[in-house]
Amino acid sequence: MKALVTGASSGIGRDLAIELSEKGYDLILVSRNKEKLQEVASKIKTNTKVIAMNLEDEENCKKLYEDLKEESIDILINNAGFGLKGEFVNADLDKEIRMIKTNVTAVHILTKLFLRDMVKRDKGIILNVASIAGFMPGPLMSTYYSTKAYVVRLTEAIKEELKHKKSNVQISILCPGPVDTNFNKVSGADFKVKSLSSKYVAKYTVKKMLKGKFIIIPGFGTKALKPLAKIIPDNIIMKFVYKVH
């Protein structure tokens, strides 16, 4: 059994990799930081390969697939991504474009290419890491929330297509709230709510994913936000999110 995890050098990606290794999966870990990947690999009991690669570049995404397509990946976890806090009018445009390429384009490319092979084999699991942010508008983090909305809708649509094909391939989506990871430092976010530990999120996620759960939302408080986001008017949600940030 083999799993490919992007964004595996820290936080949720690192802990998902460690948790999967406990389940007996060999790992292929991808991130820009080779040194940190090697640190993660040193904590993993199963066979592990590390690949230092920047997935902002779509050609790198295609190369990653070409290099690994003969590996028969059983689980693909699209976790690479980052956020950026600030008013849309003032946010750094270059960073926003990088974010869109990482959070959206890379997820799109890797999902499509590896899914094609999984459909042919009629087995496999893809986990796309989104966020509870994908279900609501996000003032002060507008681009990040929008990228996660794309991941949510893309994954939902693929799930329905697989259902109609009667495919045995599973696709799931992880939608956590705030998690205590390096994400907060990189994005500049300071959430006014309690964060979950990445170890808890990883353990919960792997358990639910392997049981076939589609939308995975760790934490009781975060779970409550999804139905509320459907019934509470957007103008109220936007005020709430603004205050949270």
Per-residue pLDDT of 117-157, as tens digits, reads 999 999 999 999 999 999 998 999 999 999 999 999 999 99
Task: Supply φ then ψ for residue 137, to 5 degrees.
Answer: -75, 155
Q: Is 105 helix (H, G, I), strand (E, B) or coil?
A: helix
- Please pick, among 25, 65, 144, 204, the residue that the annotation labels catalytic: 144
- The string of DSSP codes covering 202-233 is HHHHHHHHHTT-SEE--SHHHHHHHHHHHHS-
Residue 196: domain span = 2-244
Average pLDDT for runs of 10 along the chain of length 245? 97 97 97 96 95 97 97 97 95 97 98 98 98 92 97 98 97 93 55 79 97 93 71 73 78
Residue 197: CB atoms within 10 Å: 13
Total domains present in the chain: 1
pLDDT of the residue at 69 = 95
Task: Tell me if residue 65 is catalytic.
Answer: no
CATH number of residue 187's parent domain: 3.40.50.720
Task: Supply φ then ψ for residue 198, to 5 degrees.
Answer: -65, -30
Element (H, E) at 184: helix 183-187
